[in-house]
Each structure stands twice: as structure tokens, then as C-alpha cells.
Structure 1
């Protein structure tokens, strides 16, 4: 397990160090609009360089994809997927919910994820073997304590998260209270931690999903691709810079069956 201990240590120490600086920048920087309509700041770009540098130093043989740099998936055995600042709009507007997402894929299958939210001091991480065939310490954690999805059935007192591009799925009689957090990773990790029963993202990218895939599955969550293709494994040669991966995450398969008819408007 020495390798996995090193993976966790590199992800943790890097995210904590980068997060400390981002807290100093929080609410003080302005963003520029990218071609896809999202924002990028100097803080995103600095964090991206720092994270890529730390990973490359510790694992020089591993490939790295990140939102702010390389987007083409290769045939490397190990690939790190980075979102240096998920929730940039929240970050620039002074809303204290944004995070740093770091995932590790084995031949395209996410097997480890680490997501740190500095303003609320929450750290999620998890290991998931999936179809990789690897022997690893499967589990999901929040601040080093094991987490699991809720076993509750939906009600008007349970939460479900939407993104800005999935508002059309809400209809009168929707089985849960709706929330919009503005951070794709937190939408799904709230399900893993049992705080909400589900969430949907209409246009997430691979850096929004790679880390949380391992954590959600290890926590017992149900992941449904809203595309004609499975969310993972990642496809060699694909440019993930403009490739959306619509996804529904719920605590139980029965809730997915109930909600899928409402998701037709965002299916890809």
C-alpha cells in the first residue's frame, strides 16, 4: 500500500498548500470569460501550475490532464485529472464554496479522488477499484471519517442539487427540495456524504467528475450517465476540453428510476 499512501500524501499536501494561497486571493480577483462561458482567473492558472508541478515531481512517469492546460487523453497507464479551482464564479464573488479537485485514473478508470474545499475546511477522498482490477484500500472519507450515502427515501425535507443548465428537470411534485450550489464536485460529494439524495450536472467536464467518481462509488452512490456513452473509462485520443459528460448521481437505484424520465431534456 506504499504507492497509495504516496498518492494520498501528494494530493493532500499539494491541495492544502495551494488552498492556503487561494484563501488569500478569495474574493479579491476578477475572472475572464472563456470560450465556453466559464470564468478563469490568475488564481486558477497559478493553482494549475503548482498542482501539475507537484504531481510531475512525485510521479514523473504519469500523464496529467487539467482544465487549464492539457486536454487530450493518452494511453498512459496512470493519468491525473485536475480542476485547480472548481467554482471559480463563487470564488470571484466571495461565496465561500469552491474547491480543488485531483483525480487519478488507471488506464482510463478513476481509482482515486481527492477534493478539498478550503473555505469550509472539508476534505473528501476515496478509493474505488471498479473495473480496474487493482488491489487498493476501497473507501470514502470526509475529514478522514468514513462516509456513506443516505439510505432515506425522498421527501420534501431532502435535498437534490441542480446546475444552472438543468433547471428544466424541475417540475411540480419533484420529490426533493432543490438546491443550487454552483460547484459541480460539491453537488455530487454532498450525495456521497449523505447530505443530499441526488444531483444532476448537464454539462460537466472530465475534471469535474474524475475525482468524485471514485468517492461517490466508494460511498455507495449510484451514477447514471445521461449520454449515449458511459462516463468512464476515458477514451484514448479524445479531446476532453469541449466534451460534456452529463451525469445523474443519486443515493439509491430506485430514485434514479424515478427521476430518469425527467432527465430527457438534458440527455446528450
Structure 2
């Protein structure tokens, strides 16, 4: 296996470089914006610039590794290593001028995530984790929250881009779970949601129809912070629940009740 400590320092530097581009272009007039899967699924010139920085660095330093990235999809190599990249998670926020977005980079080795970084450039928050070595925010160790009831909890969620055309759009889960909570947040950046679960700011999270690059780094952050991420069965793409063990089980219980109706 490669030296993960060395790789972590490299990944952090890549995230900072991409974040610098994002800060420099934040609230830019005439930001170039295009759409992808729908008219609410955006990509900006800054997404593409950020991805170019990260992918160029991976290719320069780990030329024999595979890459899965949001804007470039899959660069296949005959390798046990796969980099999973979301260069700018929270593009709608970025395009709107809302300061909640993040760079997300993870590394898989033989199908297991062994390294993850989520960097929020506006707040200068660097979340990081290496398999077996804990999770950190700006080099301070973090853990998931300890709450064990929904009534005490503040959760986060989100909604799929095809929510208008597909009935499996999370509204039924939201309607069922929301009345049982202390609060709900919808921040619009899955990677940052998961990072906030890892450090205990959020008690849990669920969302449907995500992509691997949305959650790869967040998965290892939460695992190394003492929590867990559960894949919701029989759902499109990546659908997950995250939090400490008790909160995950409570959210899954609500979801299962609705599925059985």
C-alpha cells in the first residue's frame, strides 16, 4: 500500500489549491453556469477548474491509479487504487452565493475507502481521516454526537435532482421524521453534511439518490469518528443514513415503517 500519511498531506494541499480557486471566484459576476441532468443540476466553470487542479495532481503523483470524478466520470486503470473526487460539492449554493460548499477527495484500496478529505474553503475547515487513525477537523480529533433520541436531535437531509418527476423524492420520509426532531437542516452539500455529522454538529443525516463522489470521503470521516453509514436497500444510486449507532437505527426504523405501509 502507498504511504497514506504522505498521501494525506498531498490531498490536503490539492484541496486547498482547489478551495483557493473557489474563494477567488466566489460571487463572481457573470460566472459561467451550465446544466447537466436537469435544469436544477448545475455545473460551473469553477467546478471544472477545481477538478482540473485535483485530477492533474493525481495523474502527476499517482499515474497508475484509477479516478472517479463528478465532472469527468471514470478514468479506468488496472489498479487496486481508485480516487473518488467531487471538486465542488454544493454547486447550487456556490452559484447562488451561499457560502456552504466543499472539496471532497477519497481514496479506495481494493474496494475499501482508506483516506478521505472534505475541505470547506470559506470557513477554512479541513476534515480528514485515514483508516484506523481517527477523524480530524483542522488536526483536532473529532467524534460523532452522543444523542440517543430523535427528539433531541438535529438532522440534515436533501432531495434528489429528479424530485419533480420521480415520486421517490424523500418528501414522505421528511414528513414522517420531521415532527419527531428538535430540528432539520438542508445545507445543500452532502459531503459537508457528512463532515458535520462526523464532528457532532449534526446528530444524523439521510438522503436519497446521491453519487459515490458525494459520500466517499464522508463515509470514512464518520466511521473513523465512531459513527456509521448505512446504505438504504432497494433505492436508486447511493441512498444513505448516517450518525451514531442509535440515531442511525432510529432513522432506519422510521424509513422501514414507511416502506412497510
In the superposition, the TM-score normalised over structure 1's length comes to 0.84
Structure 2: runs of 5+ lacking an equivalent:
160-168
Q: 2: distance between equivalents of 1:261 and 1:45?
A: 39
Deviation at 1:17?
1.2
Other-structure match for 1:163? 158
Partners of 2:141 and 2:252 in 1: how far apart? 29
Q: Which residue of structure 2 aligns with residue 225 of structure 1? A: 231
Structure with greater strand share of residues: 2
Residues of 2 paired with 1:257 and 1:144: CA distance?
Answer: 30
Which runs of 5 or more residues in structure 1 are unaligned? 129-136, 230-242
CA distance in 1, matches of 2:11, 2:226: 23
- Three-state SS of the structure 2 residue aligned to 1:22 is helix
Match of 1:250 among 229, 237, 243: 243
Tell me by how many angstroms 1:194 deviates: 0.7
Deviation at 1:21, TM superposition (A): 1.3
- Secondary structure at the aligned position of 1:82 is classed as strand
Question: Bigger shift: 68-77 or 25-34?
Answer: 68-77
Does the alignment pair 1:76 with 2:79?
yes
1:190 and 2:193 are equivalent in the alignment: no
Matching residue within 34, 37, 49 for 1:35: 37
Output one character per residue of 1:131-170: Cα deviation in whole Å (capped at 9) or x when no partner.
Answer: xxxxxx5210001100001112235453100102433212
Q: Call closer, same or farther: CA 1:95–1:266 in 2, change over 3 Å.
A: farther
TM-score in terms of structure 2 length:
0.86
Q: Residue in 2 aligned with 1:114?
A: 117
- Residue pair 2:84, 2:106 contacting (<8 A) in 1 also: yes
> How many angstroms apart in 2 are the aligned matches of 1:143 and 1:178?
26
Is residue 24 of structure 2 the alignment partner of residue 24 of structure 1? yes
Contact 2:86 2:105 in 1 (8 A): yes
- Cα RMSD over matched residues? 2.3
Question: 1:191 offset after TM fit, Å?
Answer: 1.1
For residue 130 of structure 2, the aligned residue among 117, 127, 132 is 127
Aligned to 1:102: 105
Size of the aligned set, in residue pairs, is 245
Q: Is the 8 A contact 1:65 1:72 kept in 2?
A: yes
Distance 1:54 1:63 in 2: 13
Q: Secondary structure at the match of 2:95?
A: helix
Shift of 1:12: 0.9
